[in-house]
């Protein structure tokens, strides 16, 4: 603590800075700590079904720069949950004293033309809608992977073969052999002036353990997609992503589709620089359950938080989602955001899915209708260097579909998130 308070000419020195001053230049430590309080009222839209908890996550990062072209990266993680009232579902929040990252890199992924990364690492691309690290979660996601990174001018191509790590509550986590994802992701900067084009392809194969959406048995899913981001005239900008899935799940064939469309306008000459956002998200559902063909879109390995609503009660599966919102920045380090969401089922005979892919409710007759409900949410985020403080509130109004399966109570969500690096 005394070291943390020591002042230098540039301001307070962190414990990691003081430690690194005493070590060889090729050895570097840093530390991350985050805690978040979350409170849910009327989960599954039933009165009295409330829960709250405190998430605590501590990470130790170590970099060993053996040579300018050869390095090692390690990250130890300890993640825990406190004060949870409903005992079920604690596993996704707990990961005590684990090795989350451990890889070696040959070459320089930032400046060099070619680099190879081998070991336990993050895979995150685009807005992480299909493949991401899910760092909002308390334990996050990593992969045991081999990744080749190629650079040529404005073009970068990543080729990888990976298996997702299945986290244990205690002890060293491992991946499941045979449950793999292979991919190619191309990023073309300045495809047009101010535009970025990102086509990609993933091939996911599974071991056939247990049920999967739309089928049972071995999984062979192919994902072809394209993402486009551009700055437009008059301070407009846009982003789009189109994803097509094909393949099989056991004896069930797969044909699914999803898209993301966003347009925004920044009022640069107005105080606080307000930014208007309009967004539409769609993910296909299963038209006729049990017919041997699955149309339910699979999110794969997403960073799902706040993609279809702050409270994370509606996943990017069998959904038609329309939203609009406004961002303000009263101070350079403070961002305020308010959004309104409206959801309908893409297919009435399929169900509503959570952001983790779990099915919540389904009416196989399709007679309940498709209106899921609406959400209003607001957030405030204050960032100072690597430190961040965020608070958010979400209120969900259930539609006819949810009222049919539940008591129809409005769901409320609140969080306070504090993270810092030292």
148 vs 118: CA distance, rounded Å? 9
Note the pTM of the prediction, 2 decimals: 0.92
Which stretches in the chain have pLDDT values below 70? Answer: 1-12, 88-91, 207-216
Q: Which domains does the chain have, with CATH numbers?
A: 126-421 (2.40.160.100)
- What is the DSSP code (8-state) at residue 94? -
3 vs 323: CA distance, rounded Å? 48
Residue 291: per-residue pLDDT? 87
Residue 88: per-residue pLDDT? 59
Residue whose tokens read 């985020």: 381
Residue 11: per-residue pLDDT? 45
Residue 290: per-residue pLDDT? 81
Query: DSSP letters of 240-272?
Result: EEEEEEEEEEBTEEEEEEEEEEEEEEE-TTSTT
- Token couple for 4: 């943390």
178 vs 319: CA distance, rounded Å? 30
Q: What is the dihedral of CA 300, 306, 311, 314, to 10 degrees?
A: -40
Is the distance from CB of 3 to CB of 13 less than 8 angstroms?
Answer: yes
Q: What are phi and psi of 44, to 5 degrees?
A: 55, 20
Phi-psi sector, 273: left (phi>0), alpha (psi -120 to 50), beta: left
Residue 2: per-residue pLDDT? 32
Strands 293-294 and 334-345, how do they pair?
Answer: unpaired
List the helix and strand counts (H, then E) for the chain.
Answer: 3, 26
Residue 112: per-residue pLDDT? 86
55 vs 94: CA distance, rounded Å? 9
Helix, strand, coil tally for the chain in percent (to 5)? 5, 60, 35
Residue 250: per-residue pLDDT? 85
Residues facing residue 344 across a β-bridge: 320, 371
What is the CB neighbour count within 10 angstroms for residue 367?
9
171 vs 138: CA distance, rounded Å? 16
């Amino acid at each position: 603590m005394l070291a943390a308070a020591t002042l230098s000419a540039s301001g307070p020195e962190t414990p990691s800075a003081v430690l690194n001053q005493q070590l060889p230049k090729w050895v570097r430590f840093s530390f991350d700590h985050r805690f978040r309080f979350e409170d849910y009222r009327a989960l599954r839209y039933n009165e009295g079904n409330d829960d709250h908890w405190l998430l605590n996550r501590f990470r130790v990062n170590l970099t060993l720069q053996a040579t300018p072209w050869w390095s090692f990266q390690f990250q130890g993680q300890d993640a825990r949950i406190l004060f949870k009232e409903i005992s079920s579902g604690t596993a996704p929040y707990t990961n005590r004293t684990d090795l989350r990252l451990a890889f070696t890199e040959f070459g320089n992924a930032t400046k060099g033309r070619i680099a190879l990364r081998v070991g336990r690492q993050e895979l995150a691309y685009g807005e992480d809608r299909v493949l991401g690290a899910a760092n909002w979660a308390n334990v996050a996601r990593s992969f045991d992977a081999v990744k080749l990174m190629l650079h040529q001018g404005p073009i970068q191509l990543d080729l990888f073969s990976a298996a997702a790590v299945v986290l244990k509550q205690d002890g060293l986590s491992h991946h499941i052999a045979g449950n793999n994802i292979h991919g190619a992701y191309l990023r073309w900067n300045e495809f047009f002036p101010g535009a970025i084009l990102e086509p990609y392809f993933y091939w996911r194969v599974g071991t056939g353990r247990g049920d999967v959406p739309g089928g049972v048995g071995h999984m062979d899913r192919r994902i072809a997609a394209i993402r486009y981001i551009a700055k437009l005239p008059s301070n407009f900008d846009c982003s789009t992503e189109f994803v097509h899935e094909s393949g099989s799940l056991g004896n069930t064939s797969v044909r699914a589709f999803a898209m993301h469309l966003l347009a925004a306008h920044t009022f640069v000459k107005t105080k606080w620089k307000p930014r208007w956002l309009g967004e539409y998200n769609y993910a296909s559902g299963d038209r006729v359950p049990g017919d041997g063909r699955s149309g339910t879109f699979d999110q794969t390995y997403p960073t799902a938080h706040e993609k279809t609503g702050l409270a994370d009660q509606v996943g990017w599966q069998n959904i038609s989602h329309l939203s609009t919102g406004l961002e303000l920045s009263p101070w350079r380090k403070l961002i305020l955001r308010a959004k309104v969401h409206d959801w309908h089922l893409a297919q009435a005979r399929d169900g509503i899915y959570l952001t983790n892919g779990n099915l919540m409710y389904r009416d196989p007759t399709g007679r309940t209708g498709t209106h899921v409900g609406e959400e209003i949410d607001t957030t405030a985020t204050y960032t100072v260097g690597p430190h961040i403080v965020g608070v958010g509130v979400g209120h969900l109004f259930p539609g006819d579909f949810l009222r049919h399966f539940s008591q129809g109570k409005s769901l409320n969500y609140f969080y306070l998130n504090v993270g810092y690096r030292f």
